[in-house]
């Protein structure tokens, strides 16, 4: 169940994905293909989740969503109270390593995120990631020996039977409604949160204006669409980051998409890469009225392990 939603009922699941999609499209923070917010407030930046339900629940608790009280004090945090409002970034929600009889049931986590977006459209920011995009376009991904798109489809078919097609269609509507990035305006320059950035070799095919306009179906096309190139990108370097800073007028990037053993890594000169799915997964709170530079910001990272957050 997701707050009264039966996750085995096709009507209920279809409805929650469509509600989430409508919230993505119509939230006042949506500008073109991205969400745009401004200080004051606290950004809760995250990395890939890959259907880690405990970490997703802790992030919702921390942000104060779903009826949970956000703590006034985070153990080990010098900030005793987060600035309001709180903005939670979520991406790469699906495709778990933990299968049930060979089935990937991560549609349930995605439905939970859709419900959260529908209830908090201005404060929850669902960003497009490569696994969600691969799922809706049918691109093959093998992760730890698992064909994840097929395992996800098998789970939806197992649960919903003859109704699986319309559930998958609703999932597609929700994924296509996701923001390509979140831009945060601060007194010390803008921060851009995205799943990834295009790889160096992809820049000639990439349209940097994609973050300033509505996405088209061509943008999702494998290996040539600008949204696809952005969420699948790896291997960016300092020169490319500086080029995108100049093109987009941002000062810092917060990204996911890559495995980081310790949960966080700074990429020179101005990018932070985060993981939120594994045992060392983290989140990064940032005061949008006084954001730190990348190395200093990285020192404020907080673990998501239960023994570190259970005392809240």
Average pLDDT over residues 15-24: 98
pLDDT of residue 66: 65
Q: Give the global pTM.
A: 0.93
**Which residues are within 8 A (CB) of 6 and not within 5 positions of it... i.e. 6 or more apart?**
12, 13
Work out the pLDDT band at 311, boundaries 50, 70, 90. very low
Confidence of residue 77 (pLDDT cuts 50, 70, 90): very low
d(Cα 91, Cα 55) in Å, to the nearest integer? 13
Mean pLDDT for 7-12 is: 96
Pairing of strands 264-267, 42-46: unpaired
Confidence label for 146 from pLDDT (cuts 50, 70 and 90): confident
Q: What is the pLDDT of residues 190-238, one digit of tens each?
A: 999 999 999 988 899 999 999 999 999 999 999 899 999 999 998 888 9
Query: Given a cut of 90, is residue 143 above it in pLDDT?
Result: no
Q: Which residue has the higher pLDDT, 62 or 44?
A: 44
pLDDT at 80: 42
The average pLDDT across 278-299 equals 94
How far is Cα 103 from Cα 133, in angstroms, rounded to an integer?
Answer: 19
Instruction: Report residue 59 as tokens.
Output: 């992030």
Residue 177 pLDDT class (50, 70, 90 cuts): very high
Q: For the segment 88-133, what is each residue's pLDDT rounded down to a tens digit?
A: 999 999 999 889 999 999 999 999 999 999 999 999 999 999 999 9
Asked if 278 and 254 touch (Cβ cutoff 8 Å), the reply is no
- Residue 75 is predicted with a pLDDT of 47
pLDDT at 158: 98
User: What's the pLDDT at 2?
Assistant: 56
Q: What is the pLDDT of residue 230?
A: 97
Task: Evaluate if residue 246 carries a pLDDT over 60.
Answer: yes
Question: What is the pLDDT averaged over residues 286-296?
Answer: 95
DSSP for 133-167, please give it.
Answer: HHHHHT---EETTEEHHHHHHHHHHHHHGGGHHHH
Can you tell me the mean pLDDT for 177-201? 96
Q: For residue 308, is pLDDT > 90?
A: no
| Domain covering 10-309, topology | Purple Acid Phosphatase; chain A, domain 2 (3.60.21)
Task: Tell me if residue 146 falls in helix, strand or coil.
Answer: strand
Structure tokens at 56: 């997703």
| pLDDT at residue number 138 | 81
- If you average pLDDT over residues 68-76, what whole number do you get? 48
Q: What is the mean pLDDT of residues 40-68?
A: 90
Name the percent of the chain lying above pLDDT 90: 79
């Amino acid at each position: 169940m997701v707050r009264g939603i039966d996750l085995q009922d096709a009507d209920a699941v279809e409805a929650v994905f469509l509600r989430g999609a409508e919230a993505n499209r119509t939230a006042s923070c949506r500008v073109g293909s991205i969400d745009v917010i401004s200080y004051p407030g606290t950004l809760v930046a995250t990395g890939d989740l890959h259907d880690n339900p405990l970490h997703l629940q802790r992030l919702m608790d921390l942000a104060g969503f779903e009826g949970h009280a956000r703590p006034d004090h985070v153990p080990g945090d010098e900030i005793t109270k987060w600035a309001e409002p709180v903005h939670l970034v979520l991406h790469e929600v699906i495709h778990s390593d933990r299968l049930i009889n060979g089935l990937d049931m991560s549609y349930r986590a995605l439905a939970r995120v859709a419900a959260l977006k529908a209830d908090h459209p201005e404060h929850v920011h669902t960003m497009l990631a490569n696994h969600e995009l691969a799922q809706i376009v049918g691109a093959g991904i093998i992760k730890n020996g698992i064909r994840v798109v097929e395992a996800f489809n098998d789970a939806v078919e197992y649960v919903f039977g003859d109704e699986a097609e319309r559930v998958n269609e609703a999932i597609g509507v929700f994924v296509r409604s996701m923001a390509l990035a979140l831009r945060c305006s601060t007194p010390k320059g803008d921060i851009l949160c995205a799943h990834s950035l295009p790889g160096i070799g992809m820049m000639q095919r990439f349209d940097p204006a994609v973050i300033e306009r509505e996405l088209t179906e061509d943008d999702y096309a494998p290996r040539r669409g600008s949204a696809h190139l952005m969420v699948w990108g790896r291997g960016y370097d300092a020169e490319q980051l500086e080029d995108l800073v100049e093109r987009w007028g941002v000062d810092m990037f917060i990204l996911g998409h890559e495995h980081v053993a310790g949960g966080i890594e700074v990429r020179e000169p101005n990018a932070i890469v985060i993981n939120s799915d594994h045992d060392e997964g983290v989140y990064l709170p940032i005061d949008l009225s006084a954001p730190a530079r990348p190395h200093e910001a990285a020192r404020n990272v907080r673990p998501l392990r239960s023994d570190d957050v259970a005392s809240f």
